[in-house]
Amino acid sequence: MAYEFRLPDIGEGMAEGEIVRWLVKQGDVLTQDQPMVEIMTDKATVEIATPRAGRVLQCCFKEGERCPVGEVLVIIDTASDASRTPGPAAPTPLPTPLPAPVAHAPTPRPETVLATPAVRKLAREMDVALTGVRGTGPGGQITADDVRTAKVSAGLVAPTPRPTVTGDVRIPFRGVRRKIAEHMLRTQREVAQFTYMEEVDATELVELRSKAEARLSSHDVRLSYLPFFIRATVDALKKQPQLNSYLDEKAGEIVQRHEYNIGLAAQTPEGLMVPVIRHADKRSLLELAREVERLATAARTGRVSPSDLGGSTFTITSLGALGGLSATPIINYPEVAILAVHKIAKRPAVVDDRIVIREIMNVSLSVDHRMVDGHDAAMFVAEIKASLETPGLLFLESR
């Protein structure tokens, strides 16, 4: 009999999911709990497995298309004889959304394909079926080199990205990249944004961080500048609560948040994401350092979990040594502000009427002018500047 598998709500009130990659095709025989498809929600990309064994009759949406929650995602023949042997496909051929070329001849799919999101993305771009790739990583995990080796062995040219006759390269606009674009456009559409910039003398911060990192070496944690920026931001938000808020347009109210959940804009193999340090106001500098390191590692390896995403009340973006001099960061809607911290570099400065070399950095604050005025933005940045220029106070325990 035909079983219609409908897309479940796999997020908090999600309305639809984007089909990132089909892991099966029409005619494939499935075992129960076998991964079928990768779906992107607002928070993360997840694998969905089949709750029943059987043969795939139809994949109802193509890669890159969006499936509303509750709509039929895939139709499976669950008749007893359908799940024993592959056999022929249904009498009336149905369209399949998968690309025709594959790296290897189809083989029975194991229960789990071990591969990071970055490797899965590479496999999609090279049109390599991970089910036919032998993993050489720990525990049989498929690495990027395994995918490239499989492609070379197959002697196929990857269709995406694909060069045109003029030498241009076409890359599918979907997945995380399209989700980022939609989010940025919504911000530009909904928010009256302006940016305020200021210079910070970080000389004492550089010295303190160097000493603190040496002291913390026994705790097996790397102390970057981000924990200091987070602490300074939280202290400023307590004094300027308007910047830790959002606009409830239906109710006609500005909601000032009682929690301080700081999002950290991070580049990941899947694209830009914003993992969140929750209850940042209740964490010591050491605890902030550990959480920053955990999230940074997860972002680098493509292992950011859905529980690490969403729910931020204020966002900080930093490119570290690549941070440049200034920027106009785009607000992480529905928040009302975002802080960009730029690189620290030696520059000439005037101190006590003398020109000296100091460690200088800039900060850029973008705010929603509907709720935050220029004076509020200037006061907020002044609080952060004062904290970073006298960083010893930031070591005090959370209040």
One domain for residues 147 and 51: no
Could you tell me if 64 and 19 are in contact, meaning their C-beta atoms sit under 8 angstroms apart? yes
Rounded to 10°, the helix 226-239/374-389 angle is 130
37: domain CATH number is: 2.40.50.100
369 flagged as catalytic = yes
**The one-letter amino acid at 317:** T
Domain enclosing residue 302, as ranges: 195-395
375 flagged as catalytic = no
Could you tell me if 274 and 312 are in contact, meaning their C-beta atoms sit under 8 angstroms apart? yes
pTM for the structure as a whole: 0.66
- The total number of structural domains in the chain stands at 3
One domain for residues 223 and 265: yes
The candidate with the shortest Cα–Cα distance to 128, out of 109, 97, 153, 164, is 153
- For residue 266, being part of any structural domain is answered with yes
Instruction: Tell me the pLDDT of the chain (399 aa) as tens digits.
Output: 889 999 987 665 678 888 988 999 999 999 988 889 988 876 667 788 888 899 999 999 998 888 998 999 999 998 744 445 444 444 333 333 336 333 333 333 334 567 766 677 788 778 888 877 888 776 677 877 788 777 766 554 444 455 555 778 888 887 777 888 888 888 888 899 999 999 999 999 999 999 988 887 777 888 899 999 999 999 999 999 999 999 999 999 999 999 999 999 988 777 788 999 999 999 999 999 999 999 988 888 877 787 888 899 999 999 877 888 889 999 999 999 999 999 999 999 999 999 999 999 999 999 999 999 999 999 999 999 999 999 988 766 544
Q: Cis omega before residue 108 (within 30°)?
A: no
Active-site residue, from 127, 373, 375, 376: 373
One domain for residues 201 and 56: no
Residue 162 structure tokens: 């694909």
Last residue of a domain, one of 77, 96, 120: 77
- For residue 230, being part of any structural domain is answered with yes
Active-site residue, from 104, 183, 201, 369: 369
The candidate with the shortest Cα–Cα distance to 325, out of 197, 207, 232, 194, is 197
- For residue 90, being part of any structural domain is answered with no
Which helix (H) or strand (E) segment is 147 a member of?
helix 144-154
- For residue 358, being part of any structural domain is answered with yes
Could you tell me if 212 and 77 are in contact, meaning their C-beta atoms sit under 8 angstroms apart? no
One domain for residues 254 and 328: yes
Residue 196 structure tokens: 């305020």
One domain for residues 373 and 243: yes
One domain for residues 307 and 241: yes
What distance in Å separates the CA atoms of residue 218 and residue 132, rounded to the nearest whole number? 45
One domain for residues 24 and 150: no
One domain for residues 135 and 246: no
What distance in Å separates the CA atoms of residue 243 and residue 42, rounded to the nearest whole number? 24
- For residue 92, being part of any structural domain is answered with no
